[in-house]
Structure 1
Amino acid sequence: MHKRQFLMTVAASGASRAALPVSALLGACATGAGNGTADAIYFGGPILTMNDAQPQVEAVAVAGGVIRAVGRREAVFGLRGPATRMVDLQGRTLIPGFVDPHSHLGGVGLQAISANLLPPPDGDNSSIAGLQQTFRRYLRESKEPAQLGMVFGFGYDDSQLEERRHPTREDLDQVSMQLPVVAIHQSGHFGALNSVALARAGITAGTPDPEGGVIRRQAGSREPDGVLEENAFFRTLGRLMPRLTTEQAVGWLEQAQQLYLQYGYTTVQDGRADPQAVATAIAAAERGRLLVDVVSYPDILQLGEGAFMTGAYYGRTYKNRLRIGGVKLTLDGSPQGKTAWLTQPYRVPPAGQPPGYKGYGVLSDAQAHAAVARAVEHGWQILVHANGDAAIDQFIGAVRAAGPQVRARDMRPVLIHGQTLRRDQVSMLKELGIFPSLFPMHTFYWGDWHRDSVLGDPRAQNISPTGWVLEAGLRFTSHHDAPVALPSSIRVLDATVNRTTRSGRVLGPEHRVSPWTALQAQTLWSAYQHFEEDRKGSIEPGKLADLVVLSDNPMTVERHKLASIQVLETIKQGRSVYRANA
């Protein structure tokens, strides 16, 4: 049996680490030793390499920010010198640094300075009244409203509010009638505005819905009720955002960076970055303010002439910890918000929509094909947001139209989210060389909502179908889509392994995977998605010393306790950049 399969089998049976063959776990000797001494040697706890050929070792030597040797303790200790730091893990677990396969670093910066409107367990908001109370407390205690001249809140979720609806302009008018108030939905695809914000944005009864978006109206009239969907929200938010100084914008990014470090990420993605977000990341890089590697994917629809794609930061090599890795395209919306584009109707249509409602796309087929063709023509890796299976069909069609060069040139186009990916579509991903980055975290946050209201069974059971993907011989990555959810690597791990909903039910048991596979999806396979598998994602000689110390071993802890694991330390190229309770 293959070593990885054996390791997964033992973990699945709950057997202890001691039951594994010593040779399979530790390797016969240290590899990659060479000459010279180590800056640091880690030992004294489980070291999970994510390398199938040598899954676990006793010690790791680091020199010059690079992994120098791994293997048996006595062999690696041969690299000890007078100045070598000997780091005893004291039973804690060492793994590679987490590589973020999809999120929005710039959005997390906005989240970091906003009122926390998240529902439990990440916030305290379970009702409209609770949201109002959170906003009022934020106004009293935070300096941002006065500095920005407006009030932001992030993370409300209508599916988790007692009222099962979005807050309206009237609800937010009770927070303030002097300042614009914007409440951003947890999906990031909706926003609710008070009357002051609507007036400042110029949205009135006479304002038409934009293409790919909806301005929701009060019953029986054209008067806006304050809730904006998709492009209506994105464009309005862009108009309302206050102008920041470069230092303020970099400060927001640094606050976001700290949140990722807290969860063990050593590489972070900024997906669908607008021009200002790219400029801010470059400013942070030039000022030496990035502690993690940041890979940015600008919105292809906002590229203009594509200056970012020809500048010093575009390519496979980081400069000052930043690189522009490709482009991002969005084809539909949010399944929990019921704007994702489906081929079959929603189980319960959203307010104001008729039976048979299937959501909607953002672009025509011709526009989607043109965007993908542009990326392929220039050799840009493209990440495509497609939640609904109709949107996934559109993406598949666009890649197919781009021709065999996509696969021949190993361009690794990425399907982002793929929530309602059908089984027949999985084989098409394999045929066309499309890499799936899935979102099993939805099973916890919105699994019950998917089953009861959004999709119903059996579709809800098969959201983010990792089982089908593995069955087809494909790899996948598993993401959090921050700021949609907190960038919690541990919550991602737990959801990918257990697929347990808020109510404690298992959604799609056949799509559960082993802890080893889930960890690879967050490390080595994520590095592969970014074309960085040669230098990141596993603990092997020659790779960067991007490491994370965990409180417990994911391979041996009881599966239902995975969510209780804590990130104790994050190490970027041999340097400690985060310590819990430091």
Structure 2
Amino acid sequence: MAACSGNSDDTAAPAAAANSKAPADLVLLNGKIATVDPALGNVEAMAVNGYQITAVGSTEDMAAYVGPETRVVELDGRFVMPGFIEGHGHYMGLGRAKQILDLSRVKNWDEVVNMVAVAVDKAKPGEWVFGRGWHQDKWDSVPDDAVDGVPRNDSLNAVSADNPVLLGHASGHAAFANDAALAAGGVDDNTPDPAGGTIVRAENGKATGLLRETAQRLINDAVNVYNNRLTPEESERIDRERVMLAGDEALRHGVTSFHDAGASFETIDFFKELEEEGALPVRLYVMVRSETNEEMDKLLPFYKMVSEGNDFLTVRSIKRQIDGALGAHGAWLLEPYVDLPDTAGLVLEPVADIEGTARVAVKHGYQVNTHAIGDRANRETLDIYERIWDEMGVDGKPLRWRIEHAQHIDPADVPRFAELGVIAAMQGIHGASDGPWIPSRLGEPRSGLTSYPWRTLIESGAIIGNGTDVPVEPIDAIASYYATVSRMTVKGERFHPEHVMTREEALTSYTLNNAIAAFEEDVKGTLTPGKYADFVVLSNDLLTVEEDKIPATEVLMTFVGGELKYSSED
């Protein structure tokens, strides 16, 4: 792999010729560097001073920046690009996912039950068991008595009668609870469904354990009581561990910046404390979440943070959520589900409340980023944005408001993204993951007309971001990039490949477009002199390597602010 050294014999000759430039702290030579800057294109070498890029160009030109103390990276033809910007994820959720049962790779319900049984054996009486990542549509089988395609909790009760168990769906839009957890939350067979949620029941009326969308919140108080057993010091230790676990995972996958899709003011205060300590591993762009419109109206002016210097924390956006997820039958659709025709999805947060947020955002100069997955949800969100801008007499385009996920869009609404200047914050990997079962929810040709219409969005002039929605999916930027350029699903079939992005478009979606989506294109997203020296060294050239070799590409080095934060050799 790439050699990294101080001024060695390999660099002595170029250094001797360097007499017209001030020495750089770091120089990369003899590679293929995709700057993603149209004015610069691809270059061979790059010089860095401090946390910023000093110059890019040929190896001969950059050798002039090598001095006695310069650290030299000999790329030997390796590929360099701007650090991946995770365009939509859940930072603390990623860290927490590393502390609980990982159910993302289970093949069936029996494996879930076995993992819980092992955890219960190690747990103290009454201790909760948490897990996340299961997805029934990815299993090789489901029990014969499943309800709505999801098991009942009988076998879970058998292995954990006294320990409450709560297992989050991969999407985060449903959870599975055993009877002990339901009882702790005060949920029984007679508990009414909350607005925007469903307590799934068998034909006899018994709760199966599956809680869709807002019904998960019925257990929240019991979980909070359980977590409050910890001292403040213990809670902080756990939170700091989550920050580091999430950072390590991000850096290992070449992610240098992370759009955190939802944090309370309390969590933002915690992030601010860590930034002041220099303890944030990657740069965070945080969306305010879980606060009332009244609280935001009072406090948003005190929380707004834009990029200054070598900044690791910015806050200038708000996250809302109009619907749920397609896999949990919670996405809000224009027409009913094919496999559950008595519903067209769920509205999780009232339109009027989101309108109130939009007004507060305009008043305080904040971006609004609304989760919308179903075609009805996307239309309603575009309508909300347009309606509030007209009401308040503002031009919406400079505000760069976003729709998070934007997975299923009616063709009539596709041009509206570009017309209104709304950014589609999509996740390429969802197309690969969900593609095999989307037709079971929507049918054809509806799936092809509405699902992940990247090509038509781009051709209409819209800006598309990219990401993984981690921990819904692993924070594997290369896997998401591959899904974006191939539309190859986990089943080895291409899901409506007419909507693939080109290699260059996909690279831009994961770098410059995500920087634009955060108002940070002046400091991130391209390897342009003066911007942050946030970049990754990869084992393959993502722009030219054979398509089927893209998934095997390895992150060799990750640099943030000119500092080596991850190396595959370590």
State TM-score, norm by structure 1: 0.87
Matches of 1:258 and 1:496, distance apart in 2: 24
Aligned to 1:495: 483
Task: Determine whether 1:327 maps to 2:327.
Answer: no
Matches of 1:550 and 1:436, distance apart in 2: 27
2:267 is paired with a residue whose SS is helix
- Asked whether the equivalents of residues 187 and 218 of structure 2 are also in contact (C-alpha less than 8 Å), the reply is no
Aligned 1:38-117 pairs, distance under 5 A: 38-117=24-103
Distance 1:279 1:237, change over 3 A: farther
Aligned to 2:16: none
What displacement does 1:474 show? 2.0
Distance 1:237 1:277, change over 3 A: farther
Task: Determine whether 1:127 maps to 2:108.
Answer: yes
Aligned to 2:202: 218
Aligned positions, number: 535
2:381 is paired with a residue whose SS is helix
Aligned to 2:443: 456
Aligned to 2:179: 195
1:423 is paired with a residue whose SS is coil
For residues 220-272 of structure 1, what are the alpha-carbon distances to aligned partners after superposition, in whole Å with 9 as ceiling and x for unaligned? 22x32211111111452464141352222121221112111111111112212
Aligned to 1:15: none
Aligned 1:265-344 pairs, distance under 5 A: 265-299=255-289, 301-302=291-292, 305-306=295-296, 309-311=300-302, 314-317=305-308, 321-344=312-335
Aligned to 1:178: 162
For residues 530-552 of structure 1, what are the alpha-carbon distances to aligned partners after superposition, in whole Å with 9 as ceiling and x for unaligned? 00001111111001000101111
What residue identity is the alignment partner of 1:226? G
- Asked whether the equivalents of residues 51 and 310 of structure 2 are also in contact (C-alpha less than 8 Å), the reply is no
Distance 1:237 1:275, change over 3 A: farther
532, 535, 545: which one aligns with 1:547:
535
2:318 is paired with a residue whose SS is strand
- Asked whether the equivalents of residues 250 and 280 of structure 1 are also in contact (C-alpha less than 8 Å), the reply is no
217, 221, 229: which one aligns with 2:212:
229
- Asked whether the equivalents of residues 38 and 84 of structure 1 are also in contact (C-alpha less than 8 Å), the reply is yes
Deviates more, 1:37-46 or 1:303-312: 303-312
RMSD, matched Cα: 2.2
What residue identity is the alignment partner of 2:479? R
What residue identity is the alignment partner of 2:193? D
1:310 is paired with a residue whose SS is helix
Task: Determine whether 1:253 maps to 2:231.
Answer: no
Matches of 2:491 and 2:308, distance apart in 1: 44
Aligned to 1:151: 129
What displacement does 1:34 show? 9.1
What residue identity is the alignment partner of 1:510? E
Aligned to 2:10: none
- Asked whether the equivalents of residues 341 and 391 of structure 1 are also in contact (C-alpha less than 8 Å), the reply is yes
What displacement does 1:423 show? 2.1
2:191 is paired with a residue whose SS is coil
Aligned 1:352-371 pairs, distance under 5 A: 355-371=341-357
Matches of 1:238 and 1:34, distance apart in 2: 66
What residue identity is the alignment partner of 1:314? M
- Asked whether the equivalents of residues 310 and 561 of structure 2 are also in contact (C-alpha less than 8 Å), the reply is no
What displacement does 1:345 show? 1.9
Distance 1:251 1:406, change over 3 A: farther
For residues 52-104 of structure 1, what are the alpha-carbon distances to aligned partners after superposition, in whole Å with 9 as ceiling and x for unaligned? 22221010000011100001111111111111111001232111011111111
Aligned 1:387-466 pairs, distance under 5 A: 387-404=373-390, 406-407=394-395, 410-451=398-439, 453-461=440-448, 462-466=450-454
1:203 is paired with a residue whose SS is coil
Q: Which runs of 5+ in 2 are unaligned?
A: 1-18
- Asked whether the equivalents of residues 406 and 412 of structure 1 are also in contact (C-alpha less than 8 Å), the reply is no
What displacement does 1:365 show? 3.1
440, 463, 467: which one aligns with 2:455:
467
What residue identity is the alignment partner of 1:43? L
- Asked whether the equivalents of residues 389 and 396 of structure 2 are also in contact (C-alpha less than 8 Å), the reply is no
Deviates more, 1:299-308 or 1:93-102: 299-308
What displacement does 1:282 show? 3.1
Aligned to 1:136: 117
For residues 167-208 of structure 1, what are the alpha-carbon distances to aligned partners after superposition, in whole Å with 9 as ceiling and x for unaligned? 433232133222211111000000001111111111123322
Matches of 2:295 and 2:187, distance apart in 1: 30
Matches of 2:107 and 2:179, distance apart in 1: 23
- Asked whether the equivalents of residues 550 and 565 of structure 1 are also in contact (C-alpha less than 8 Å), the reply is yes
- Asked whether the equivalents of residues 317 and 366 of structure 2 are also in contact (C-alpha less than 8 Å), the reply is yes
1:228 is paired with a residue whose SS is strand
Matches of 1:275 and 1:146, distance apart in 2: 33
Matches of 2:445 and 2:190, distance apart in 1: 42
Distance 1:139 1:52, change over 3 A: farther
Deviates more, 1:269-278 or 1:391-400: 269-278
Deviates more, 1:238-247 or 1:508-517: 238-247
- Asked whether the equivalents of residues 314 and 323 of structure 1 are also in contact (C-alpha less than 8 Å), the reply is yes
- Asked whether the equivalents of residues 300 and 371 of structure 1 are also in contact (C-alpha less than 8 Å), the reply is no
354, 359, 364: which one aligns with 1:373:
359
- Asked whether the equivalents of residues 480 and 488 of structure 1 are also in contact (C-alpha less than 8 Å), the reply is yes
For residues 316-360 of structure 1, what are the alpha-carbon distances to aligned partners after superposition, in whole Å with 9 as ceiling and x for unaligned? 4478622223110000000122210000121211xxxxx252112
Paired-residue identity, %: 30
Matches of 2:29 and 2:330, distance apart in 1: 50
Distance 1:470 1:477, change over 3 A: same
Distance 1:409 1:339, change over 3 A: closer
Aligned to 2:193: 209
1:311 is paired with a residue whose SS is helix
What displacement does 1:388 show? 0.6
What residue identity is the alignment partner of 2:548? H
2:24 is paired with a residue whose SS is coil
Distance 1:290 1:400, change over 3 A: same
What residue identity is the alignment partner of 1:325? R
Aligned to 1:565: 553
State TM-score, norm by structure 2: 0.89
Distance 1:255 1:175, change over 3 A: farther
What displacement does 1:303 show? 6.0
- Asked whether the equivalents of residues 182 and 191 of structure 1 are also in contact (C-alpha less than 8 Å), the reply is yes
498, 501, 505: which one aligns with 1:517:
505
Matches of 1:406 and 1:97, distance apart in 2: 34
What displacement does 1:429 show? 1.6
What displacement does 1:35 show? 5.1
- Asked whether the equivalents of residues 275 and 302 of structure 1 are also in contact (C-alpha less than 8 Å), the reply is no
